[in-house]
Structure 1
Amino acid sequence: MKPVTSSLLLRNLFFTLLQPGIVTGLIPYLLVRNKVKILFSNPFEFQQYLGVLIWLLGIIILFHCIIRFATEGQGTISPADPTKRLVIKGLYRFSRNPMYVGVMLILIGEAVFCPSVALWLYTISVFIAVSLFVITHEEPRLRNDFGEDYEAYCRRVRRWI
């Protein structure tokens, strides 16, 4: 494992804020900002605590994956600045896409915390978009970049969970 350079750290920070930051932070906030103010002005109920737990699990998974991409893959989470090495350790032993699982848990946690039809529809739409992106773009690129190593990995590990 090579040490992470400051340039790689800055690129990861930038792409984290840009991609999952917008998808799991800005857009959901814009969808439910009026409800959030009301929720925070009242004591939390069970569903808010459950939403926070799901959200935290997603955050932990997402950051675990970002760190793996930087340290093992020597790249970032962005398709514009991909990893140089295939990452198959850590959570990647159980899912080929744990980062997306983390993102979905963040969104599900937000939708549980602040129930909104718009937020649930957005969460479902993100899952559909991510699934299509993984199947049509990421998997073919990984097959091209890593060849038989990626094929063997696909035979051992499921796409999601």
Structure 2
Amino acid sequence: MRRTAAVIGTAIFFVFAPCVVAGVVPWWISRWEFRLSFPGVELTRFVGAALILAGVAGLVDSFARFALQGVGTPAPIAPTQHLVVTGLYRYVRNPIYLAVAAVIFGQAVLFGDWRLFAYGVVFWLVCHLFVVANEEPTLLKKSFGAEYEALRINVPRWIPRLTAWRAGR
């Protein structure tokens, strides 16, 4: 895959995957209407907004790395040619799923909507099952072998490291 095709494919996948999962579905559930804030403390809404901003930033960064460094897309039908081990991938193996979850949970907190919180839990659970049953075995056995094994050993699946991992050290 050429880098231009990777960028275009990644942009298209961005619109159809995270924008729908973290934008359209939460809107459909909540209509983005403000409810009573979580534990009745209005300041929690700032936490929600911060989670949304951090999630969007993480998504954009990770998607750009897939296209520009990995020369592919996050979509399983057009995977990267190179394993991405820079940026947020130095801290956690699944920053895209975490970023989408952050946006969903951020909306739950911002809008004070428990339904969005429940949706976020279901989203994370589905991601976890997909990662364990499909994504990790594919990356290990079919795609990147020893390179992925080194990442898997040194970088946690869901809870980020406090310091960046440096590949090859």
TM-score of the pair, normalised by structure 1: 0.88
Alignment match, 1:4: 3
1:106 and 2:103 are equivalent in the alignment: yes
AA in 1 matched with 2:104: L
SS in 2 for 1:35: coil
Does the 8 Å CA contact 2:108/2:115 hold for their aligned counterparts?
A: no
AA in 1 matched with 2:3: V
Q: Deviations over 1:58-109 (max 9, x none)?
A: 1111111001101110011111211111111111111111111111111111
Q: Distance in 2 between matches of 1:94 and 1:11?
A: 25
Which runs of no fewer than 5 residues in structure 2 stay unpaired? 37-41, 161-169
Q: Considering fraction of residues, name the structure with more helix.
A: 1
Q: Distance in 2 between matches of 1:4 and 1:84?
A: 10
Which runs of no fewer than 5 residues in structure 1 stay unpaired? 40-44
Q: Which moved more, 1:97-106 or 1:128-137?
A: 97-106
Q: Which moved more, 1:123-132 or 1:89-98?
A: 89-98
The CA RMSD measured in Å over matched residues stands at 1.7
1:117 and 2:114 are equivalent in the alignment: yes
AA in 2 matched with 1:77: P
> Taking structure 1 as reference, are residues 153 and 32 closer, same or farther at Cα in structure 2, changes over 3 Å only?
same
Does the 8 Å CA contact 2:56/2:103 hold for their aligned counterparts?
A: yes
* Residue-pair matches, total: 152
> Taking structure 1 as reference, are residues 145 and 111 closer, same or farther at Cα in structure 2, changes over 3 Å only?
same
SS in 2 for 1:91: helix
- In the TM superposition, 1:130-141 aligns within 5 A as 130-141=127-138
AA in 2 matched with 1:116: D
Q: Which residue of the other structure, out of 144, 147, 152, is the alignment partner of 1:146?
A: 144
Identical positions, percent: 35
> Taking structure 1 as reference, are residues 142 and 34 closer, same or farther at Cα in structure 2, changes over 3 Å only?
closer
TM-score of the pair, normalised by structure 2: 0.84
1:87 and 2:108 are equivalent in the alignment: no
Q: Distance in 1 between matches of 2:33 and 2:150?
A: 47
Runs of 4+ in 1 over 6 A off after TM superposition: none
